Amino acid sequence: MGVLGALLGGVLVAVAVAEPAPDPPPHTLGEILTCQPDPPSLSLSVTLDGRGLFWFHFPASRWLRGAPALPAWPEGLETPAELLPETQLCRQILGILGTQLAGLLPQARGIPVLSVFPAQPPSPGGIPVLSVFPAQPPSPGGATTLLCLVENIFPPSLALSWSLAGAEVTAGVTLGPFVPTADLTFVRLSRISVTPRPGDVVSCSVTTGRDNATTVVAYWVAPDTALDEQLDTALAGAGLALGLVLALLGLGLALLARRDPHGTG
């Protein structure tokens, strides 16, 4: 039984080790066409797992890449002429539903969620990183590329603006397309390059809605190295002073203990 038990244990271990790893979650490739009364009246995006790969620029009638590292849209694939029937159908449905359901259904609107942060530098090899995450703070006095990420957009229509130290900035601002998400909202990304002074405040604001407009603002403050150094020096001095006080207190308690080892006074 001992040998048989050992053999069975070895077989069970082998089976456990040979068990295949769980399959990774499947990827989701989506192509979303939207039409609405507010500008932009038409939008078309191709996404992979919620990330924008390509989008169709209707005024220029051509496909654009969602990131510089992506290849160009294949020629002959979904040409503007092939997209025309779908856009016409979308507008017809919108016109029919808009007329029949006007005043009967409430309008769904989302409150945008904003975040402003420095752009992440390119990954090794010069290929830009597609995912957007905050990077290390830039060095003071130099040009800074900031991103404004707007989430929870619905409907996909809003006005976005930047300001530096209270003055509006329009030069060098880029605005990406509305990218649909799995929860039926949209995200949008804007980029700006500025040279702020230490302590300057950069703001990104968006306004939605034609009537009862909603404005949401997010801020980013340029780092102040001199102030940080002063704060570090003050904290270090406070820590040293506290350490000396505790050391003197410990020495005093030790002397008292030597003078009265039984604690009787």
Residue 87 backbone dihedrals phi, psi, to 5 degrees: -65, -40
Closest of 151, 217, 147 to residue 180, by C-alpha: 151
What single string gives the DSSP state of each residue in 162-192?
Answer: EEETTEEE-TT-EE---EE-TTS-EEEEEEE
pLDDT tens-digit series, residues 160-205: 999 999 999 999 899 999 999 988 899 999 999 999 999 999 999 9
The pLDDT > 70 percentage for the chain reads 72
Task: Considering only CA atoms, give the Rg of the chain.
Answer: 30
pLDDT tens-place string over residues 101-139:
877 877 788 899 999 999 875 444 333 333 444 444 455
Q: What value does the mean pLDDT take over residues 252-263?
A: 64
Residue 20 has pLDDT above 80, yes or no: no
Full-model pTM: 0.69
pLDDT confidence tier of residue 35, bands split at 50, 70 and 90: very high
State both tokens at 169: 């900035």
At residue 88, the pLDDT reads: 94
Tokens of 210: 């034609």
Q: Which of 22-36, 47-61, 132-146, 189-203 has the lowest mean pLDDT?
A: 132-146
The more confident residue out of 135 and 8 is 135
Assigned token pair, 265: 């006074």
Mean pLDDT, residues 242-256 taken together: 71
The backbone torsions φ and ψ at residue 62, rounded to the nearest 5 degrees and listed phi first, read -155, 160
